[in-house]
Amino acid sequence: MSLQVGSPAPEFRAQAVTPNGEFKDVKLSDYRSKWVVLFFYPLDFTFVCPTEIKSFGEHYKVFKDSNAEVIGASIDSVYCHLAWINNGLGKLPFPLLSDITKTISRDYGVLIEEK
């Protein structure tokens, strides 16, 4: 599925690692009346992604000042997210979603299926 500019974002619900390191169910509708910056990255413990993810964290105040929330997502589990945060990535001011079913990635048209 390909999203079009101006079309509604697909609703999602998934577990996430929160900034305080807890696991929490997060859904898009939790952020109603705010802008949402939802970014996807392939996997935890990769070498390119930390730079971009940390940059979102460094600019988090700019997003908040614009009434925007930031959410990261990958197909890794919350346990993998937490291990990466604790062993390399570092603390983040926004949640990391676990899309282990790949449903959210498919709904947003960002999943590249293996052939």
CA–CA distances in Å: residue 36 to residues 8, 14, 68, 71, 114:
12, 15, 5, 7, 29
How far apart are the C-alpha atoms of 10 and 107, rounded to whole Å? 7
Catalytic residue status for 80? no
One of 14, 17, 26, 49 is an active-site residue; which one?
49
Residues designated catalytic: 49
